[in-house]
Amino acid sequence: MAGRTFPVSWWELHRDAKALAWRLMDKSEKTGPFKGVVAVARGGLVPATIVARELELRLVDTLCIASYSDREQGQVNVLKSIEGDGTGWVIVDDLVDTGATARAVRELLPKAHFATVYAKPEGRPTVDTFVTEVSQDTWILFPWDSEMQEVPPIARGR
């Protein structure tokens, strides 16, 4: 269970997903343009939209994978995949934590480029491109999972 929380605002997510797009742009300039973007739904949908916009990719598909219920990880459940081995596609997810989702993704689409905005150390080796690393005991709190509310000072929680 994560000990700290790393809250991400809409603005920060936009900035970080754009930083990911810059890195993917650099890569595609060396290896050729990507065919399209595969978002790992649901968490990858927003970053994938931003990447698709910046790379001017109009072909967008989804891999639908679920494994967490609240903050507890269960079995990796693949609800929908795409055809082929992933050649030419860039797969975008919001984050890698244990890497279980990424491993399932790689098994389904072994030739795709796998990118995330955030990465924790355990999952980091499973990702080709990411932007920001956070510690393993940190829970990344996304804007779609949160709303503004009053909190006590850090000192009172120790």
Ligand X SMILES: O=P(O)(O)OC[C@H]1O[C@H](OP(=O)(O)OP(=O)(O)O)[C@H](O)[C@@H]1O
Ligand Y SMILES: Nc1nc2[nH]cnc2c(=O)[nH]1
CA angle 92, 97, 99 (to 5 degrees): 75
Using CB under 6 A, pick the residue from 40, 90, 109, 134 that binds ligand X.
40
Does 127 interact with ligand Y (rule: CB under 6 A)?
no
Active-site residue numbers? 93-94, 97
Binding mask 129-158 for ligand X (x = CB under 6 A): ------------------------------
Tell me phi and psi for residue 63, to 5 degrees.
Answer: -110, 125
Query: Is 27 buried (19+), middle (13-18) or exposed (0-12) by CB count in 10 A?
Result: middle
Q: How far apart are CA 45 and CA 42, in angstroms?
A: 6
Q: How far apart are CA 58 and CA 50, in angstroms?
A: 12
Does 86 interact with ligand X (rule: CB under 6 A)?
no
User: Least separation, in Å, of the C-beta of 152 and ligand X?
Assistant: 27
Scanning residues 106 to 125, which ones bind ligand X (CB under 6 A)?
123
Q: Which residue has the tokens 């000192």?
A: 155
Does 140 interact with ligand Y (rule: CB under 6 A)?
yes
Does 101 interact with ligand X (rule: CB under 6 A)?
yes
Q: How far apart are CA 92 and CA 39, in angstroms?
A: 5
Does 142 interact with ligand Y (rule: CB under 6 A)?
yes
| Relative orientation angle of helices 45-54 and 10-31, to the nearest 10 degrees | 50
Rule CB under 5 A: which residues touch Mg ion? 43
Measured from the CB atom, is 34 or 116 closer to ligand X? 116
The span of 16-24, 49-57, 79-87, 96-104 binding ligand X (CB under 6 A) equals 96-104
Binding site for ligand X (CB under 6 A): 40, 42-43, 66-68, 73, 93-102, 123
